[in-house]
Amino acid sequence: MDKIYIEERAIELAHYIIDTKDTVRGTAKKFGISKSTVHKDITERLLRINSSLAKEAKKVLDENKAERHIRGGEATRIKWQNE
């Protein structure tokens, strides 16, 4: 893969995450790439390309990480409610 494609992908991922507040998992599914790739693009590659955009996207990812136990608990509650 060429460097320009990877840089453009990292920027596109960051804008998507910031605009939608989506999770790493949701973003990976949307773009058809692995969670590891999304995470590396945002936390490492983007930092070298556009640090302010990287910080903004990382902030959303940190918020999602802090709230994931709530989403998991809610999913479990709904699962048991439906059975």
C-alpha dihedral, 8 to 13 to 16 to 18, nearest 10°: -110
* pLDDT for the residue 10: 96
Number of domains in the chain: 1
User: How would residue 1 be classed by pLDDT, with cut points 50, 70 and 90?
Assistant: low
**Model confidence pLDDT, tens digit, residues 20-59:** 999 999 999 999 999 999 999 999 999 999 999 999 999 9
Is the pLDDT confidence value at 80 over 90?
no
Q: In which domain, by residue range, is 61 found?
A: 3-82
**Confidence label for 19 from pLDDT (cuts 50, 70 and 90):** very high
Give the rounded percent of residues in the chain with a pLDDT score beyond 70.
99
